[in-house]
Amino acid sequence: MPRTKKAARPAAARRIRLLIATRKGLWTLTSDLARNAWKLAGPHFLGHTVHHVIGDPRDGKTLLAAARTGHLGPTVFRSLDNGKTWKEAAKPPAFTEGGGRVVDHTFWLTPGHASESGTWYAGTSPQGLFRSVDGGATWEGVAGFNQHPKRKAWCGGDQDGTPDGPKLHSILVDPRDPKHLYVGMSSGGVFESTDAGGDWRPLNQGVRADFQPDPNAEYGHDPHCVRLAAGHPDRLYQQNHCGIFRIDRPNDRWQEIGDTMPKAVGYVGFPMVVHPRDPDTLWVFPMDGTSVWPRTSPGGRPAVYRSRDGGRSWKRQDQGLPKAQAWWTVKRQAMTADTRDPAGLYLGTTSGEIWGSRDEGRTFRCLARHLPQIYAVEAG
Amino acid sequence: MRIPTPLQSYTGAADINVAVPVLAPELPPTLGGVLAALDGAYPGIRFRMIDEQGHVRPHIKLFIDQALTRDIRAPIPTGATVMIVAALSGG
């Protein structure tokens, strides 16, 4: 397939650090050069609900963490020295005073375009989009989204949506154009802006919304995780509540690719990971979406499913993972890959374990256990 | 003021004094004014307790001496103690 943007080069042999955001704080897990021995460190922010922590690839030293506690309101912590010290944002994401809306938590953080050092995006629950141009110190709402006249129609009410609150997630910046953005919303669907967030339009054709009176509605969908294909930013993949989909722009219509998953496993899941160099390779982690939606590994037998042909076919990868009675799942931000060759693949589970593969999912082993429920894992 | 443990990372102490300007004897400072002064001394602390719409967050309780209030317009008598309680149950 054509590639319009050079994919990430394989990282030279170097240590990998996983940033592990949990319901009770932040931990890090750092490898040796062979990715064989791993050392757990932490906690930072013990007792905070940490929804996401991610590093800035543009400077290699800034980390942002989205956190709150049960008592206290949401905030963002910043580190300018790779996590040695942290300082709270002077102005965390918050909706406009007088507008009636309240940020419950910041859910998703995305570094901005490579040409815009210091720019970051944040997605919140309920659905809001925020931008910082000073490295995460102060945040302003993206008015073109938060005050869009159709926002409420797109998203529903702030009390609607997923059990942990409706979320804006999967903020994607086109590596060719800093003004070209995508976001995913649960609920709401996928939306696109070509003017740096000034205006937005739904991008949900071809995606089913089986839970709506009109399953082919223009918006109101439930994408769980949306990713840009590495090296080919005209391709996006999405793990949705109702299937797995791919789109190749400039087409406006998603193509279902989850219908080739084994029927006994199904196409429901939260996370999705794309290969760091091959736009045809991706992984999903299925969960049980039958009957009352247990949201566990199907049958208590966790597995990753990998496609190497853009979703036309899937291969089960479970070597090393528990064979039975493992009822955890992996949340939408808790599966990630590193950029080594072969790529490492990492899962953070709802039962507080980190599982890792250093051979692109062929074999897994447990790297850490006994952590709190894991919300997000990022590799750097 | 009495600060609960979840907020002592800001103040470094459980008991602190906050000076609030009194514009006129007939205009006593309000709870909101006290919290603004607190935030001036310890930036960021107010937003952890009070949301962007000016409402006390669900698991925060504010007492003026012995009286519980959720109204940040409540007046503060001279010399009063404002007690902040972070109340949450569950694992």
Q: Is residue A173 less than 8 Å (CB to CB) from chain B?
A: no
pLDDT over threshold 80, residue B89: no
Query: Residues A46-84: pLDDT tens digits?
Result: 999 999 999 999 999 999 999 999 889 999 999 999 999
A72 vs B6: CB contact, 8 Å cut-off?
Answer: yes
A73 vs B48: CB contact, 8 Å cut-off?
Answer: yes
pLDDT over threshold 60, residue A306: yes
Residues A240, A238: Cα–Cα separation, whole Å: 6
Q: Is residue A95 less than 8 Å (CB to CB) from chain B?
A: yes
**SS3 call for A195:** coil
Q: In chain A, what residues touch B50 (CB-CB under 8 Å)? A: 73
Mean pLDDT value of segment B65-83:
93
Task: State how far the alpha carbon of A186 is from the alpha carbons of A12, A66, A270, A315, A378, in Å.
Answer: 37, 18, 11, 28, 21
Q: In chain A, what residues touch B49 (CB-CB under 8 Å)? A: 72-73
Residues A116, A252: Cα–Cα separation, whole Å: 28
Picking from B6, B48, B54, the nearest residue to A75 by CB comes out as B48
Query: Residues A107-159: pLDDT tens digits?
Result: 999 999 999 999 999 999 999 999 999 999 999 999 999 999 999 999 988 77
A243: left (phi over 0), alpha (psi -120 to 50) or beta: left
Query: Residues B3-52: pLDDT tens digits?
Result: 999 999 999 999 999 988 877 878 889 999 999 999 999 999 999 999 99
Residues A334, A169: Cα–Cα separation, whole Å: 13
Q: Is residue B36 less than 8 Å (CB to CB) from chain A?
A: no
Q: Is residue B86 less than 8 Å (CB to CB) from chain A?
A: yes
A5-9, A98-102, A142-146, A278-282: least confidently modelled range: A5-9
Of the candidates A72, A66, A113, A55, the residue with the CA atom closest to the CA atom of residue A93? A66
Question: Between A and B, how many residue pairs show a Cβ–Cβ distance under 8 A?
Answer: 55
CB-based contacts of A63, cutoff 8 Å, min separation 6: A19, A53, A54, A55, A56, A78, A79, A82, A83
Residue of B nearest to A70 (CA): B88
Residues A20, A352: Cα–Cα separation, whole Å: 10
Q: For residue A90, give how far its alpha carbon lies from the nearest alpha carbon of chain B (Å).
A: 6
Phi and psi dihedrals of A341, rounded to 5? Answer: -125, 110
What share of chain A has pLDDT > 70, as a percent?
97
A72 vs B87: CB contact, 8 Å cut-off?
Answer: no
B52 vs A75: CB contact, 8 Å cut-off?
Answer: no
Picking from A88, A89, A94, the nearest residue to B52 by CB comes out as A94
Query: Residues A163-184: pLDDT tens digits?
Result: 789 999 999 999 999 999 999 9
- Amino acid A3: pLDDT: 53
Q: Which of A72, A78, A140 to mutate to probe the B interface, most B CBs <10 Å?
A: A72
pLDDT over threshold 90, residue A370: yes
Q: Which of B3, B5, B47 to mutate to probe the A interface, most A CBs <10 Å?
A: B47
CB-based contact A127:A115 (threshold 8 Å) = no
Q: Is residue A73 less than 8 Å (CB to CB) from chain B?
A: yes
Query: Residues A244-296: pLDDT tens digits?
Result: 999 999 999 999 999 999 999 999 999 999 999 999 999 999 999 998 899 99
| CB < 8 Å from B in window 97-156 of A | 97-103
CB-based contacts of A375, cutoff 8 Å, min separation 6: A21, A22, A23, A49, A50, A51, A52, A331, A333, A334, A348
Task: List, in sequence order, every residue forming a beta bridge with A25; answer none if it has no partner.
Answer: A22
